[in-house]
Amino acid sequence: MEKSLCDSKCRVCEGGVSPFDVRTVDAYLKKIDANWQVNEVKTQITRVFEFKGFAKTMQFVNAIAWIANQEMHHPDLEVSFNRCVVRLSTHAIQGLSENDFVMAAKIDALLA
């Protein structure tokens, strides 16, 4: 039985591997919440989260920061009063890897 993305761990990626191809990106998108969007060139996934006020937004951002440090895979975050835009990409390979989808699943689990 395949381990769920949320139960997986990010692997250190310092380059030297290829980013996911279009087919693999499409397959992994089916494993995460449908609110994640992939950019046109399939190198980044993005999701917008909205909250009721600044305190809830910051609690969410701090939880993401904790997970990111545990996984050693850090998203780009855009934070405002009641929303947070999360962008995931594996910078070392300039594209998407399993790590991005693991992080997406773990971030989604924060709201479950």
- Could you read off the pLDDT of 79-92 as tens digits, one per residue? 999 999 999 999 99
* Topology of domain 40-81+95-112, CATH: Gyrase A; domain 2 (3.30.1360)
User: CA triplet 24, 8, 17: central angle to 5 degrees?
Assistant: 45
pLDDT for 1 equals 53
3-state secondary structure of 88: strand
pLDDT for 23 equals 96
Using a 10 angstrom Cβ sphere, with 0-12 exposed, 13-18 middle and 19 or more buried, the burial of residue 73 is: buried
pLDDT for 15 equals 74
pLDDT for 12 equals 80
pLDDT for 20 equals 96
pLDDT under 70: residue ranges of the chain:
1-2
Instruction: Evaluate the CA torsion angle 72, 75, 97, 112 in order and state its sign.
Output: positive
Give the global pTM: 0.94
List the chain domain ranges.
40-81+95-112
Count helices and strands in the chain by DSSP H and E runs: 3, 4
pLDDT for 70 equals 96
pLDDT for 95 equals 96
pLDDT for 11 equals 87
